Structure 1
Amino acid sequence: MAVALPPKPVWNQLIKSGCRVFVGGNASVPYALIQDLIDHSTGFSDIEMVHMLALGDTRWASEKHRQLFKVNTFFIGGEEVRRAVDEGRADYTPCFLSEMSGLFSDGTLPLDAALVNVSPPDEYGYCSLGASVDICMSAVRNADVVIAQINDMVPRTSGHSYIHISEITACIQSDQELVEVAPPPIDSITERIGQYVAMLVEDGSTLQFGIGKIPSATLKYLLHHKDLGIHSEMLTDSIIEVIESGAITNRKKTFHPGKLVTSFAIGTRRLYDYIDKNPHIEFYPSSYVNKPTNIAKNDTMVAINSALEVDLTGQVVADSLGHDFYSGIGGQVDFVSGASMSKGGKAIIALPSTAKGETVSRIKPCISEGAGVVTSRGNVQYVVTEYGVAALRGKSIRERALELIRVAHPKFRGQLLEEVRKNYWVPHYQEKYPTDIAELGAIQLQKLVIQGDTYYLRPLNPADERRLQEFFYSHTKETLRLRYNYDPKQMSREKSCNLVSVDQRTDAALCIVRQEGSRIMIHAVGRFYFNPADNSCEAAFVTRENQQGKGMAKLLLSRLIDIARARKMRRMLAYVRAENKAMIAIFENAGFKRLFSSDPSDVELELKLEEEA
């Protein structure tokens, strides 16, 4: 049975000059409807157009319509809207995405009208808001009049995405494609960021991610994960491959199990067709999807968001470049808060370490003048760049600074440390900044599975000062005597700092750690000291007592030998107590030969690297 449609809009009967009009946004802007308003705008002026991100042709924000429309956007995007904000002709209103709907319902921003893009009504008279439920549903419920573009190109999405034809005051029929945004190409820097972020994602996690290169790169490295779920404000094309790979099942979700939950979609026609009538993907308003307490109902919730810059205390700038507003708060704070409250959750900020052709560091001593903090230093748990993962939760300002310097671009690390020494309490003995081991390759973190447990092998760095101190005090007297040839009583912070502040370009120091959230424990350390006099190095290692016998020392020694060979060193030496049979065996199994020693209590071993090579 055909459903009768509302009449065409007679604009001067529906709105008037000076009124506030909501415009459906993201990829589902009702362009034909807006053009119809423009075509019949004689006598109108000063209409406030309120919207979120609006993609495509945002003609209402152009200079030629400045007397007709005044833009008030919650998220800056689109060429005309950005220019209007920059020139002061448009306003940017910062607001958490979870709270935008409340501005309409509580009368803070009362709406005279809502312009939305909807699917044709079904046989029961229900139209779908399709790919943009977000704050559209609240606008429809709270506007005095609802004017719709009935569009056969709008997908019918499941969930809470439907409005009845009786709720629509007037409409036009116009089939227009939704704006298409293809997945961006992934460069090598983004690829490395994606690999590091994927390492933080455990099987069974529920994910949130936004648009851009980093989410796409991360999803690429999740194809072999198991039982992932999605509770995210938005979807992109990148999600389809991960669903089809079987990595996303949603079965382990503890909130809406079995269902992928979202609020809006931005992608290509492939994505819009994929969500059309798909019962496994449900769209809900942003006030529901982005509500932190709802997000936290998902165990192991992982929120992946980006930033424009991060300062050395962990403050995140995401909506402004200095005094210039660039985007919006969006849902970052909602999901960072929700993930932080989730059982086993992780809040991740991922960004490239530099901007403007590696001339500017995005890791900064302090935020740029005029820039605003979107996510506070108290909320962020992880910051990821192409140089690694900085774990900030529970860290002091000094520890945070050292962690963040470690993931900054190498050419800025020395400068950042100097700034820290000026502005934050960093002890006088903290003189060296972290360096990478080039021989480990672009990814300095290697995941290990040893007897069913997950560990990570990586370079030792200045941020490990306290962890190495804890490692030292975990040893028995016997371990200390065998390692140091005497019984040291103390490992001061200064001495620990000296041991972890390694110039990895000459010497090398590796560790194997167990990491659960921001809880990091060192289980084994291996290092060599370079001797330029004869192009040799001296190696040593120590393993936590309860981890001995698992092959950690063997693994560390193997990596150190590889590094020394790559640096074309002549030989590697080791000095071991004669009674330390286990350590001697590890060296000899690696090819070391005993040398004559005048002291029977010590064994000197040598590996001729050039001959082996």
Structure 2
Amino acid sequence: MAIGLPSEPDWKALIKSGCRLFVGGNASVPYALIQHLIDNSDGFSDIELVHMLALGDTRWVNDEYKNLFKANTFFIGGQAMRQAVDEGRADYTPVFLSEISSLFSDGTLSLDAALVNVSPPDEFGYCSLGAAVDIAMSAVRQSKYVIAQINPQVPRTAGHSYIHVSEITACIEANEPLVEVMPPPIDSVAERIGQYVSMLVDDGATLQFGIGKIPSATLKYLCHHKDLGIHSEMLTDSIIELLASGAVTNKKKTFHPGKVVTSFAIGTRKLYDLIDNNPHIEFYPSSYVNKPTNVAKNDNMVAINSALEVDLTGQVVADSLGYDFYSGIGGQVDFVTGASISKGGKAIIALPSTAKNETISRITPRLAEGAGVVTSRGNVQYVVTEYGIASLKGKSIRERALELIRVAHPKFRSQLLEEVRQHYWVPHYQEKYPTDIPELGAIQLKRLNIQGEKFYMRPLNPADERRLQEFFYSHTKETLRLRYNYDPKQMSREKSCNLVSVDQTSDVALCIVRQEGSRITIHAVGRFYYNASNNSCEVAFVTRETQQGKGMASRLLNELIRIAKAREINQMVAYVRGENTPMITIFEQMQFKRLFTGDPSDVELVLNVSELP
């Protein structure tokens, strides 16, 4: 049965000067409808247009329409919109995406009409908001009038995306494609960040992510995961490969199991075709999808968001470059909050370590003048750059600074440590900044599976000071005597700091850790000290008693030998108590040979690295 459509809008009967209109946004802006309004705008002035991110031709902010329209955006996008905001011809209203609908419902931003892009009605008279349910559904429900662009290119999406044709006051018909956004090319920096972020995602986790190089790279490295779920304010083309890989099943989700949940999509026609009449992907209003308590209903919720800069206390700037507003708050705080209170959840901020061709560090000692905090230092759990993962939850200001310096670009680390001394309490003995081990390659973190348990091998670094203390005090007297040849009673902070502050380009210190949420526990440490006088090094390791016999020492020693060989070191030497048979056995298994010194209480072992194949 054919469904009759409302008549074309008689604008003068529906609106007046000074009124407030909502405009559908993201990739589904009703351009033809806006042009229809412009063509019939004689006598109108000072009409406020409120909207989310608007992709494509935002003609209403052009200077020629400054007397007709005043844009008020919740998320800035595109050069024309940024320029209009900078020049005062448009406004930016910062607000959490989950709370925008309340501005409509409580009258803070009462709406006279909602201009939306919808699919043609089905046989029952229902039109779909398609790829942009977000705040559009809330606007439709709270506006005096609904004026629609009936568009056959709008996909019909499942979930709460439908409005009945009887709810539409007036409409025009326009066959207009949605704005397409091509996936950005993934560069080497994004690739490394994606690899690190993927290490924080366990099988069975539920994901939230945005748009850009880093989410694309991250999802690429999740294709071998199992039983992932998606609960994300937006979808991009990045999900297409992930869905095709079979990594996403949604069956482990504890909120809307079996379904991908979202509120809008931005991508290419391929994505829009994917969501069209797809019962497995459901669209809901942002007030529902982004509500932190709903996000938290997903166990193991992993929120992956980006930033423009992060200061050394963990404050995150995401919507402005100094005094220049760049984007918006969006859903970052909604999902950071929800993931933080989710059972097993993780809130991740991922960003490149530098900007402007490596001339500016995005890890900063202080926020740029005028910059605003979107996510507070109390919310942040992880910050990821191409140089690693900084774990901030439960860390002191000093520990946070050291963690963040570790993931900053190497050429800024010394400067950042000096800046820390000026503003945050750092003891006098904290002299060295973190260094990487070149032989480990671009990714300094290696995931290990040891007897069915997940561990990581990585360089020891200054942020491990307290962790090394805890490791020391976990040892029995016998372990300490065998390792140090005496029974040390104390591991002071200064001593621990000296042991973890290593110039890894000369000496090497590795550790094996277990990370459970933000809790990191050291289970084994291996190191060598370089002796330049004869191009040799002295090697030693110690393992937590509960982990002995599981091969951790062998893994560390094998890696140390590989690094020594790469550095063309001639010889590795080890000194072991004669009664420490297990440690001697490990060295001998790695082809170390005993030297007979005449003292049976101590055994010296040597490996001629230069003779190894």
Q: Secondary structure at the match of 1:558?
A: helix
Task: After TM superposition, list the pairs within 5 Å mapping 1:97-496 onto structure 2.
Answer: 97-496=97-496
1:7 corresponds in structure 2 to: 7
1:544 maps to a residue whose letter is R
1:134 maps to a residue whose letter is D
TM-aligned CA deviation for residue 597 of structure 1:
1.1
1:150 maps to a residue whose letter is I
In the aligned structure 1, how far is the partner of 2:547 from the partner of 2:238?
40
TM-aligned CA deviation for residue 401 of structure 1:
0.5
1:37 maps to a residue whose letter is L
Q: Secondary structure at the match of 1:537?
A: strand
Q: Identity across aligned pairs (percent)?
A: 80
TM-aligned CA deviation for residue 10 of structure 1:
1.3
TM-score with structure 1 setting the length = 1.00
Task: After TM superposition, list the pairs within 5 Å mapping 1:453-602 onto structure 2.
Answer: 453-602=453-602
In the aligned structure 2, how far is the partner of 1:80 from the partner of 1:477?
69
1:454–1:514 CA contact under 8 A, matched in 2 = yes
1:252 maps to a residue whose letter is K
1:182 maps to a residue whose letter is M
Give per-residue Cα distances to partners, 1:394-451, cap 9 Å, x unaligned.
Answer: 1111110010000000000000011111110111110000000000000000000000
1:549 maps to a residue whose letter is G
What value does the CA root-mean-square deviation take over the aligned residues? 0.6
2:488 maps to a residue whose letter is P
1:22 corresponds in structure 2 to: 22
1:57–1:78 CA contact under 8 A, matched in 2 = no
Give per-residue Cα distances to partners, 1:217-240, cap 9 Å, x unaligned.
Answer: 000000011110000000001101
In the aligned structure 2, how far is the partner of 1:127 from the partner of 1:570?
75
TM-aligned CA deviation for residue 291 of structure 1:
0.3
In the aligned structure 2, how far is the partner of 1:54 from the partner of 1:370?
25
In the aligned structure 1, how far is the partner of 2:600 from the partner of 2:334?
65
2:149 maps to a residue whose letter is Q
In the aligned structure 1, how far is the partner of 2:324 from the partner of 2:316?
16
In the alignment of these two chains, the number of paired residues is 613
TM-aligned CA deviation for residue 265 of structure 1:
0.2
1:320–1:327 CA contact under 8 A, matched in 2 = yes
In the aligned structure 1, how far is the partner of 2:566 from the partner of 2:598?
32
Q: Do residues 78 (structure 1) and 78 (structure 2) align?
A: yes
TM-aligned CA deviation for residue 78 of structure 1:
2.0
Q: Secondary structure at the match of 1:401?
A: helix
1:93 corresponds in structure 2 to: 93
TM-aligned CA deviation for residue 598 of structure 1:
3.5
In the aligned structure 2, how far is the partner of 1:441 from the partner of 1:227?
30
In the aligned structure 1, how far is the partner of 2:465 from the partner of 2:126?
62
In the aligned structure 1, how far is the partner of 2:84 from the partner of 2:164?
35
Q: Secondary structure at the match of 2:111?
A: coil
In the aligned structure 2, how far is the partner of 1:212 from the partner of 1:598?
65
In the aligned structure 2, how far is the partner of 1:311 from the partner of 1:607?
45
Q: Secondary structure at the match of 1:28?
A: coil
1:135 maps to a residue whose letter is I
TM-score with structure 2 setting the length = 1.00
TM-aligned CA deviation for residue 601 of structure 1:
1.1
In the aligned structure 2, how far is the partner of 1:13 from the partner of 1:546?
79
In the aligned structure 2, how far is the partner of 1:293 from the partner of 1:408?
33
Listed as ranges, the gaps of 5+ residues in structure 2 are none
Task: After TM superposition, list the pairs within 5 Å mapping 1:39-58 onto structure 2.
Answer: 39-58=39-58
TM-aligned CA deviation for residue 600 of structure 1:
2.2
Listed as ranges, the gaps of 5+ residues in structure 1 are none
2:519 maps to a residue whose letter is R
1:461–1:502 CA contact under 8 A, matched in 2 = yes
In the aligned structure 1, how far is the partner of 2:257 from the partner of 2:605?
59
